[in-house]
Structure 1
Amino acid sequence: MKFDRLRRRFDTLAFKVVVFLSLALLPIGLIAVNQGRAVNQQAQQRLELALIAWTDLAAAEERKTIQRAFAAAEALSTVLPVIKDDPQACYDMLTNYRIKSKQFSLIGFPDETGQMNCSTSKKSFNFSDNPIFLKAKSSPQPFVDIRVAGRVSETSVIVVVHPVFEGDVFKGYVVVSIPHDGLEINSEAETELSPVEVITYNSDGVVLTSTLDLASAADRLPVDRSLKTLVGSKPVAFREFQNNKDNRIYTATPIIKDTVYALSIWDGDAAVLKAASFNRSASLFPLLMWVASLVVAYMALHSLVLRHIRRLRSQMDQFAKERTVPPETSQDSQSMAFELRAMENDFVSMAQSLLQDEAAMEEVVREKNILLKEVHHRVKNNLQLISSIMNMHMRKARSSETKAVLGRLQDRILGLATVHRNLYQTDNLNNLNAGVMLSDVVAQMLSVGVAPGTDIQINKDIEDVALYPDQAVPLSLLTSEAVTNALKYVGKPAQGRPWINIKFADNGDGTATLSVANSKGPALAGNDDVEKTGLGAKLVRSFSIQLGAEVSIQDGESDYKISATFTIADFSHEPLDY
């Protein structure tokens, strides 16, 4: 049941239009989704480029400072190996250079053994076990490192190292220390963008500087990527959730190629970044367009088609049930499309034609019924005329036997006349009340068949049953013969009055039963000379065959009973008069 309702709903015109319209809009929707994705990618790329450019701008001053340190170390790498053995000359020259630069806390030259006698410090230091010395000894490339507490500067410094080789022979390295408080990050650049933090790191992934707390900088680094993986790559931007709760955007860019890099950390929930990024809700635009198109299409379909079709269907149902024809013009009809208006006009014309045809057929049926009633009326009159003629012959007849034969024949004729009288008096020839007809037939038979002084007790139980004339006529004749036989052979029982029981009833299973019973005993006055010809029994069998009934006879010691059971023919409803 539920499946049938669901199937009917899917079989509606509105559902089919929605499905086909969705299929029609599908290519446009796919194009819109693809274009939206492309716009989103372009917006993300523009945002990433802007953040990378800002990162590069923020680290510009730090880049310049470190580049100056590299330049100084490279320049001094050609001079210091020559004067390294003169500590005072080294001190004077390097101190003078440091004072002029105003950015370096230490300049020195540890030799190939790690001993540093040539520096801006008057003290000598041995760095033979220092990791920076070991790295410089194994790598000819300049590099940058960090010392939280410099051994010579006694402060947090960035160490720029420039190894010195003669061929493959290590001669030492120039070291230039830059104090952290001497570096400047341009975090207040003239832009609406503002990172949470800017970090610099070297090629080993070691953090060099931070605009926040340097000691806790590692806690704010990306979780899924190490700084080492960002070394040597091109500028990159990516998004992560810091500590699984803070939405962060990271941008990494080299500030000194293959040596020093800058990493900016941005608040991914910042309004300026959301405004700069592509609004993801715009990706829902194709879906909204699809929904809006379906709503507009359904409203148009309902306004132009569905409501008029439902109205037309309602008119058809009303015509089928009540034969009511809608008016040819109405306000709703004026708003209908031409095709639907033409369909409604055709329906109205067809309905009017049907009503006219049905009225004509009803008139024909009415005329037929009138003619049939006239025929039955004339037959009844003729039968009564015949009965009157026979009555005249009976009065002139001298033989009692002749009178008896004519009397029985007259009874049958009068019974048949009673049937035809009921046929022309009924309002509907296709539906006769058999109970009324049988009551009239029995009354007619009793009025002429019961001899005076016989004192017969008549018990009648006749129900109203609707029958066709094809069944009502043989049933009436069968009843007439059965009652005639009962009157002919009724006798006085040992106790009580003589009796005749006549019963006609609907059995409730589509059948009806007629039964006529009479008491047996000594013949009543007027019946003692009755001749048994067997004609009545033959007529009963003949009428029962015509009726299609099954006849049963019970001949007991004290009574005689004949029963006839037949199937009631089905009725079709009478056409209404419109």
Structure 2
Amino acid sequence: MPWRRAARVGGRAGLAVQIIAILSIAILPLALISVYQSSKMLRESRNLSRTALAQHTESMTADERELIQSAIGAARAISSATVVLRNDPEICRQVLEKLVARDARYIFAGYITEQNELRCTSSGQRGAIDKADMIADSVADHEPRVITHSSEVLSGRMVLSVSVPLVAEGEFLGAVWIAIPYEVANALLEAPGRAVELLIFGARGEILATEAFDDERRTALPAGMELSDLARDVPQTFRRKNRAGLVRDFAIVPIVDGVVYGLGSWEPREGNLLPGVGPMISVYFPLLMWLVAMAVAYVGINRLAVRHVYRLRNWMRMYTAGRTDFSEAKLQNAPEEFEIVAEAFRRMTRELSEHERRREESVAEKTILLKEIHHRVKNNLQLISSIMNMQIRKADSLEARNLLRRVQDRVMALAAIHRTLYAARELSVVPADELLDSIVSQLVKVGSLDEDGQHISISTHFSPAEISADQAVPLCLLATEAAMNAVKFVGHGDESGAWIQIVLHHQGDREYCLSVINSRGRQPTPEENPDAGTGLGSRLIASFAAQLDGTLEINDLPDRYEMHVTFTAESESESAPVDY
């Protein structure tokens, strides 16, 4: 896949990835500026949403503010007539009755003494009041108070009670109480189709009025916050989840400082910086632009450069696999620079192919010449062997014939090497197992009987082995000398007769061991056989083992004689010329 190719090449980042990284660094300042501007505009949009909510909350609670403030103002006006309220219950009743009659929103007004007794009321009721209506003790701080409760004085009706303390010369004398039907206070907050949720709460955190006074009314409150903590005399806005788990903007506005506050909330209304898209896209728009730019850069780089690079790489792979004709190979819609590279590659393959053809012809010619040389050397050595064979037949003494025969065996070993090289497919590698088998076979023909005419059992085993041509000469001469010595000194030690074992064993990796073992009987004394041997064969064996860089081990046992040569097969590049 192209994206996998461009991702990483040889452990390094590809061209497309590096270009994308460079472009990313280049456009990073613009992206940061864009993100900053977008974030700034988004913050301003959020602030506008909260400011708008505060304005809506203030305007929509204006009627509620007017209602409560007017009730507090009326109660304060009545509380100024302290003497009338305390000394003349009848005039007090008349004043309160006129107050209720003048404003239809009031259903009750009364004066409560400091002992929580109704001194006078707009309805004429008097006497002690129930604990639910005991509001005078809550204004001991000499400040007005607004609460919502079920009034026993009004037969359990839900009312919004406004109380103003009556104070004379610093002494608390009671409070003036005005009751407003709860449904009237709630109706002022109702506005069908409006997205703002409104409620009115007191300084102590109690809910005074809502659009719907039901069990779900507290879900609109901010989660994890108490209303009493929000009672401040300055407007405030914030964003938070409500108790239903929805993110909302909240606005708190004072209706009566220190007494009553309005709370409004709505779903965040952030103005979109782009028409028809969400607000967060304004922040993510630089990221989107970067992604589009990187995608265009990636596709462009792959089309203009990367695909042509991989096309050239495929040509190189095909060339290494054996294809040499690229005269028809073309790049599709490649830039001029890649066409120049492609033409240079085609010209290079033509020149290399021509050089390769000439080299192969030269190698073939030299191979033929080398094989011809080996063939002629083999023929000459065989001719020498034939001449020596004629000389052996004319020799008078047994010692002369034995010496000439041993020299003839060495000549035939060399001829076997040249015959093997002449027939080999590769001149640099000689199959040692085949070569040794050929030499031993030749020795068996001429040496299977000892001097007493007794039969010699010769067994061989050669593991497949390939050695260099330089190692073949000392190995073959070594095997020849060892085999001739074994034939010369083989003995009949037991009923099994005379025997010789010649083995080439693979010991692992490139290490081999050539072993020549022969049986032994009673050895003649020097007086019995003064020509038992000169030691030339042993010296030649040690010399050939040294030329192989091998280790020679001799075990002269009573019943057998063992020779082991351990060596390492060399490749043609490791071999050194051997002078023989």
Residues 516-543 of structure 1, C-alpha deviations (whole Å, 9 max, x = no match): 64776899xxxx9978555445444444
Farther-moved stretch of structure 1 (183-192 vs 19-28): 19-28
* CA apart distance, 1:430: 1.7
Distance 2:191 2:118 in 1: 41
* CA apart distance, 1:380: 3.5
Q: Is the 8 A contact 1:465 1:506 kept in 2?
A: no
- Consecutive unaligned residues of structure 1, counting only runs of 5 or more, are 1-6
* CA apart distance, 1:71: 5.5
Match of 2:378 in 1: 380
Distance 1:353 1:159, change over 3 A: same
Q: 1:58 aligns with which of 54, 57, 60?
A: 60
Distance 2:550 2:379 in 1: 30
Distance 1:337 1:566, change over 3 A: farther
Q: Is the 8 A contact 1:481 1:539 kept in 2?
A: yes
* CA apart distance, 1:281: 5.6
Secondary structure of the corresponding residue to residue 151 of structure 2? coil
Distance 1:405 1:138 in 2: 145
Secondary structure of the corresponding residue to residue 376 of structure 2? helix
Structure 1 vs Structure 2 CA RMSD: 5.7
Q: Percent identity?
A: 29
Distance 1:109 1:550 in 2: 132
Counterpart residue identity of residue 261, structure 1: Y
**Counterpart mapping for 1:254-333 below 5 A:** 254-264=254-264, 266=265, 273=267, 282=281, 322-325=321-324, 327=326, 330=329, 333=331
Match of 2:471 in 1: 471
Distance 2:343 2:90 in 1: 121
Match of 2:368 in 1: 370
Give the number of aligned pairs.
Answer: 550
Residues 269-325 of structure 1, C-alpha deviations (whole Å, 9 max, x = no match): xxxx366688576466666666666666666666666666566556656655x4445
Match of 1:506 in 2: 505
* CA apart distance, 1:32: 5.7
Distance 1:462 1:145 in 2: 119
* CA apart distance, 1:255: 3.1
Distance 1:97 1:299, change over 3 A: same
Distance 1:486 1:231 in 2: 121
Counterpart residue identity of residue 501, structure 1: I
Are 1:515 and 2:516 counterparts?
A: yes
Match of 1:4 in 2: none
Match of 2:48 in 1: 46
Match of 2:569 in 1: 569
Distance 1:532 1:25, change over 3 A: same
Q: Is the 8 A contact 1:380 1:420 kept in 2?
A: yes
Counterpart residue identity of residue 513, structure 1: L
Secondary structure of the corresponding residue to residue 424 of structure 1? helix
Match of 1:149 in 2: 151
Farther-moved stretch of structure 1 (219-228 vs 40-49): 219-228
Distance 2:541 2:372 in 1: 29
Distance 1:551 1:156 in 2: 123
Q: Is the 8 A contact 2:138 2:145 kept in 1?
A: no
**Counterpart mapping for 1:90-169 below 5 A:** 99-105=101-107, 139=142, 148-149=150-151, 158=160
Distance 1:344 1:83, change over 3 A: same
Distance 2:454 2:405 in 1: 20
Are 1:420 and 2:422 counterparts?
A: no
* CA apart distance, 1:511: 1.7
Distance 2:46 2:27 in 1: 28
Farther-moved stretch of structure 1 (392-401 vs 533-542): 392-401
Distance 1:10 1:536 in 2: 62
Secondary structure of the corresponding residue to residue 567 of structure 1? strand
Distance 1:236 1:121 in 2: 42
Q: Is the 8 A contact 2:190 2:211 kept in 1?
A: no
Q: Is the 8 A contact 1:205 1:227 kept in 2?
A: yes
Farther-moved stretch of structure 1 (14-23 vs 39-48): 14-23
- Consecutive unaligned residues of structure 2, counting only runs of 5 or more, are 1-7, 273-277, 575-580
Distance 1:315 1:113 in 2: 109
Farther-moved stretch of structure 1 (380-389 vs 501-510): 380-389
* CA apart distance, 1:461: 1.8
Distance 1:287 1:431 in 2: 67
Distance 1:239 1:34 in 2: 21
* CA apart distance, 1:193: 2.1
Distance 1:9 1:239, change over 3 A: farther
Match of 1:236 in 2: 236
Secondary structure of the corresponding residue to residue 474 of structure 2? helix
* CA apart distance, 1:59: 2.7
Match of 1:334 in 2: 332
* CA apart distance, 1:432: 1.9
Q: Is the 8 A contact 1:165 1:172 kept in 2?
A: yes
Farther-moved stretch of structure 1 (537-546 vs 77-86): 77-86
